[in-house]
Amino acid sequence: MADTAYISLGSNLGDRDAILSRARTAISEIDGVEVIQATQVEETDPVGPIAQGRFLNQMLAVSTKLSPHELLTALQGIEHFEGRERTARWGPRTLDLDIVMIDNVEMSDEVLTVPHPEIPNRDFWQRELEELRGARNGR
């Protein structure tokens, strides 16, 4: 049985458009994952205490047969391929892929919390979730 997961894509280093494009393609090529819908790309201010450039962000709705941890591992592999370095929390990055929500899944452990605890602090995530979930429910 497949679940619907919502994945946030963000980039504020390098050729942001090209990085997001490659990330969308890479996500669509993960075995057991099918991209079913995408929001428009939008530019947003960074969140957190570190001064840095603006982000390009987008959210995908995907149908996945992967467990949350398998999906996270696949997404982190894509980040690594795009040169993501985990140095400073909330620092600049070539690519940030977050599992924001998975329909009917609530979990938390040392590596993953679903739904993502930062949803209330990111207006653009809330808008994007509303857009994707509303479209899936015929709104």
User: What's the structural domain count of the chain?
Assistant: 1
One DSSP character per residue, 99-126 reads EEEETT--EE-SS-EES-TTGGG-HHHH
Of 38-42, 46-50, 87-91, 107-111, give the lowest mean pLDDT range: 87-91
Peptide bond into 68 cis (omega under 30): no
The pTM assigned to this predicted structure is 0.91
> Residue 139 pLDDT > 60, yes or no?
no
| Residue 84 annotated among the catalytic residues of the structure | yes
CATH number reported for the structural domain that contains residue 83 in this entry: 3.30.70.560
Catalytic residue among 16, 31, 45, 98: 98
| Residue 98 annotated among the catalytic residues of the structure | yes
* Averaged pLDDT, 12-26: 96
Domain that holds residue 63: 3-136
pLDDT per residue as tens digits for the range 110-123? 999 999 999 999 99
- What percent of the chain shows pLDDT beyond 70? 92
